[in-house]
Structure 1
Amino acid sequence: MSFEFPERPLALAPRWLALLLLAFFAAACAWNALSLGIRDTAHLADIETRQDRGERVDMDLYRQVHSAVAHGEGYYAAATQGNRDFDFPTKPFVTVRTPILAWGASFWGDFGWRVVAALLWGANAFVWFIALAGKASRGERDAAGTFSLLFGAAAFIPEVAFSHELQAGLLISLALALSATRWWISGLVAALLGIAVRELAAPFMLAWFTLACMTGRRREALATLVALGVVGLGLWLHAEGVAGARSPGDSASPGWLGMLGPSLPLYGIHATSLLQMLPNWFAGPLGVLPMLGWLALGGRTGTLASLWFGGFMFGVAVFARQENFYWMGLFVPAYGVGLAFVPRALLDLFRVLSSRAAPAPTP
């Protein structure tokens, strides 16, 4: 038994739901415009507190690890020692990054990762234009490619060579686009690479598997199930590598239950995109509206995007601490593509509200 998700689901919404969605997103846009400043103040205070404790920034740690691996040192020895040098925990194993960026840099250097990011930036825009054929108008496809380029501009910052989240985000975004085409196997490979770079992206594969099962796509369901097995094996190997290099005196993470609410993931979207260059009154709504756009697209692609973005934002709102805002780099650049469908969303919702109930039949 399979289920097909409807295209343009907002056009099928009852009037009460259409009104509720408009009110909710209008309030969320205004609230985010105000909360960005509050969250930025909290971010600056967090940086000051960490500097007072003598802590250094994460990117310096990754530079040190890349250099050590490039000079022949084993990754896990270099990474765990780097965490000790920076007074970072090594417990649990997820506090130590996977070795993919460091191993890659030992072959083609940090500049090579900047080239990879630039290529993925261009590939995302191109594939989104192709993937939306038959699902969106030409104007929406053009807008999708444009917003992909704009929201993915972080691919050109020098630190992208050391940012596991941005590199993984570019790969996961490409996987999301490819999953809507006949090249979905390539999307599966891109997703696996993205998760290998940053294991925090694993829920994307779980969302894909869930939708494949619900829609009766047996080949996709089997392929994604195998991919989830590969992810599990990779995480086990990573855990073993960290455990083998850990020292008895290593510190442990204080845990993740920040309970900071939706302001943190929305701030992370703001801080990892060009939105940070805009005034808050303008950037606030632009950080919220892509979610409305993805809901309006519907179908398998819109549903997968909504499940991935909405689910991950919920997880960050509950578990992340203030300094974890950069996790939202995993959304770059696909989240912003949702802005292309906001006019569709508003049109469908206002049509629902303006429609009148059909008259009762005459006896």
Structure 2
Amino acid sequence: MMRRVPAPLWLAQPSRFAGLAPRNAAAALVALALLLLACLLVFAAPVPPAASGDAAQRSDDQADVVLYETIVANVRHGGGYYATAADAMRAGDYPLKPFVTFRLPTLAMVQAAVPHAIVVILLYLLAAAVALAWYRRLAPAFARPPPRIVAMVLLAAGLMAFVQRDLLAFHEIWAGLLIALSLGVHRDGQWLPAVAFGLSAALIRETAGLYLLLMAILALAGGDRREGAAWIAAGAILALALAAHAHAVAEVVGPLDPQSPGWSGHLGFGFFVRTMTLSTALMIVPLWLAAPLVGLALFGWAAWRDVLGLRVLVVIAAYAAVLSVFGRVDTFYWGLLVAPLLLVGLVFVPDGARDLLAAVSDRRRITVKRIVR
């Protein structure tokens, strides 16, 4: 017994929801409705303090960025990273405990070693590499050029914050681009570049270590032990780097230095939605429209019948959970780790929604019978 599968609208092949049994399709529709309702929790989520827009107030509006710029400048002039970072954090009334309040030295050391203009060029080249990798990866997914163009526009909307020169010293900007590039270059049997870029992201911002863990689990679940071992090895390298980092931090932190208030904000799913609206072009869209678009983007990634679509969905969902449980109002920028790719999921929504509705309403069956004479 076969179910009728409608021809794709934009995609080269039917979506993941094509041909579902009506009962399963109805359950998926209910899940989508609940997801969209959950997105409305954004109206109950706290809002990070708005920037004044006054250049004279930049030290307050972008205090973290100014802190990182100060550290880079002092290292460039001969200061040691950890001593310099400790002094700058004390001057800015930042907590110095536990050791993860200090950023890994990777980005600061690189930026201190090369001219500022080169750092700007590297950022733009990295963003361009993300766009090229995803254009090549998405091109075969669509039957015609228009949806490919739409996908690239949506990718650009997700990269809006990642090409701002004022944020050069912000670690999540580089780590988010490297995660997006890692996913974009991933291919079955050709995973080494993806592992290398993922490890680079984690060595810049250790919270990208979750990405390494997720990719290891997905690789092993997919039956590729070699790839899984490579991601585990990358995680081991990160663990060694963090151990050395913790030791170096202990050398410059004193007993009277302040402790972090912790990372257990319990701000809920609405806070994740809020971070996505602040980290992408959705910030220029009314919140009543931007919030459900976040949910639809997640639905779109679920609809793409490709193993990469599932990986992107799992990564975004995992960081959504982290932000929902552990995020604080002043750590909304964690969302930048997954923001570049979120909106691309919207390009899969037309086919996914049509296939889901068709599956729910389909009561016809094509029965194949074998007649023996």
User: How far is the alpha carbon of 1:315 from its aligned partner?
Assistant: 1.4
- Larger deviation, residues 166-175 vs 143-152: 143-152
2:263 aligned with 1:263 = no
After superposing the two structures, state which structure 1 stretch, 193-202 or 284-293, moved more. 284-293
Change (3 A) 1:44 1:236: same
Moved more, 214-223 or 104-113: 104-113
Give the residue type in structure 1 aligned to 2:150: A
AA paired with 1:221? G
TM-score w.r.t. the length of structure 1 is: 0.87
Q: Within 2, Cα distance between the matches of 1:220 and 1:360?
A: 42
* Residue of 69, 79, 87 corresponding to 1:81: 87
State the partner residue of 1:143.
Answer: 150
Question: Take 2:123 and 2:267, find their aligned partners in 1: how far apart are those partners?
Answer: 31
* Structure-1 residue corresponding to 2:171: 164
Alignment coverage as a number of residue pairs: 350
The answer (yes or no) to whether the contact 1:171–1:194 under 8 Å persists in 2 is yes
**Higher percent of residues as helix:** 1
The Cα offsets for residues 152-206 of structure 1, whole Å up to 9 and x where unpaired, read as: 0212222221211111100000101111366521111111111111110111111
Check conservation: 1:131, 1:178, Cα contact below 8 A: yes
Name the % identity. Answer: 31
SS of 1:44 mapped into structure 2 = coil
1:107 paired to 2:91: no
Contact 1:125 1:146 (8 Å CA) reproduced: no
How far apart in 2 are the matches of 1:296 and 1:272?
23
What is the match of residue 4 of structure 2?
Answer: none
* Counterpart Cα distance in 2 of 1:202 and 1:7: 34
Aligned to 1:327: 334
Matched, 1:346 2:353: yes
Alignment check: 8 A CA contact 2:294 2:342 kept: no
Counterpart in the other structure of 2:99: 93
Deviations 1:117-153 (A, max 9, x none): 2112211121112123544434444333222122102
Match of 1:3 in 2: none
- The alpha-carbon deviation at position 7 of structure 1 amounts to 8.2
Equivalent in the alignment of 1:242: 249
Q: Give, as a single letter, the amino acid of the residue that structure 2 aligns with 1:44.
A: P
Please give the alpha-carbon distance, in whole angstroms, between the structure 1 residues aligned to 2:50 and 2:225: 50
Normalised TM-score (structure 2): 0.85
Unmatched 5+ stretches in structure 1: 1-5
Paired AA for residue 92 in structure 1: P
Verify the 8 A CA contact 1:125 1:144 in the aligned structure 2: no
Cα offset for 1:331? Answer: 1.1
Deviations 1:44-74 (CA, angstroms, capped at 9, x unpaired): 3999xxx9xx998211211211111111101
Deviation at 1:31, TM superposition (A): 5.6
CA distance in 2, matches of 1:109, 1:269: 32
Aligned residue in 1 for 2:67 = 61
Deviates more, 1:62-71 or 1:213-222: 213-222
SS in 1 for 2:344: helix
The C-alpha deviation readout for 1:212-263, integer Å capped at 9, x for no partner, is: 1111113212211211111111111211121122122111111111111011
Choose 7-16 or 302-311, whichever is displaced more: 7-16
Q: How many angstroms does 1:290 deviate by?
A: 1.3
Contact 2:38/2:269 (8 A) holds in 1: no
Task: Please say if residues 290 and 342 of structure 1, whose CA atoms lie closer than 8 Å, have aligned partners that are also in contact.
Answer: yes
State the superposition RMSD in angstroms: 2.8
Higher Rg: 2
